[in-house]
Amino acid sequence: MFFDPNYLIFVMLPTLIITGLAQMWVKGAYQKWSRIPNSRGVNGQQAAQTIIRSGSIQPVRLEVTGGNLTDHYDPTQQVVRLSQGVAMQPSVAAMAITAHELGHVQQDQQNSALMSVRALLIPSARLGPSVGITLIILGLIMNLTGLATIGLVLFAGATLFTLVTLPVELDASRRAMKMLRESGLIADSQDADGAQAVLRAAAFTYVAAVATSLLTLMYYAMLVFGGSRRD
């Protein structure tokens, strides 16, 4: 099972290709548009303050965090954390990434149904890839179809999390572009084209996550139910 050529062909290789392309796209878009200043000359922190002043969202705490492209919104603490490159650079990329995270803030403040569903699925996302796969493997080794099926259900929960995350992220990007326009941060076509390019590249990483999770789920489902039919 651990050296199954079907896994290599139908899961591992497609996963490596899809995730590799996603990472290359994101890095390429970020590197390009992080070198191009936005028309307003504002860094990520200033862009966030401009959007907040426009009334698109209620005030939220801003923090600078370490790492590269580690930007995220923490709904449990009501804080947006921006990486140093985004927080400090007056680039098109910094403006777009900041607005995307504020899109999540707006979702939270407006009680987005999709965001609420995703929050409910967080335990499944944490347990599915580890506990779920462990139970699947143990069930297959011990010929316990019920145990393997429980593991498959747990992993399916993690896959569902990635499926729900995709529209959440797409909606955050849609909100980001709207807030950038309404706050006057997008001043010309270069700003708009660059922001869209960065957000599209980021969105593809979530498409890749969905694809790889579905491929893995289908593979384990084939093992579990294929084995039970042979029995």
Mean pLDDT of the chain: 95
What is the pLDDT confidence band of residue 228, given thresholds at 50, 70 and 90? Answer: low
Nearest to 104 by CA among 23, 147, 161, 48: 48
| Contact status, residue 176 vs residue 199, Cβ threshold 8 Å | yes
Question: Which of the residue ranges 6-10, 106-110, 162-166 would you say has the lowest mean pLDDT?
Answer: 6-10
pLDDT tens for each residue of 5-20: 999 999 999 999 999 9
Give the pLDDT of residue 226. Answer: 84
pLDDT tens for each residue of 184-220: 999 999 999 999 999 999 999 999 999 999 999 999 9
Is 101 a residue of the active site?
yes
Mean pLDDT value across residues 81-87: 97
Question: Which of the residue ranges 78-87, 121-130, 183-192 would you say has the lowest mean pLDDT?
Answer: 121-130
Buried/exposed code over 105-127 (b: 16+ C-beta within 10 A; e: otherwise): bbbbeeebebbeebeebeebbeb
As a whole number of angstroms, the distance between CA 114 and CA 116 comes to 5
Give domain limits for the chain. Answer: 5-39+92-100+110-230
| Contact status, residue 71 vs residue 83, Cβ threshold 8 Å | yes
Q: Which of 63, 101, 169, 182 is catalytic?
A: 101
- What six digits make up the tokens of 194? 């660059």
Q: What percent of the chain has pLDDT over 70?
A: 97
pLDDT tens for each residue of 31-63: 999 999 999 999 999 999 999 999 999 999 999
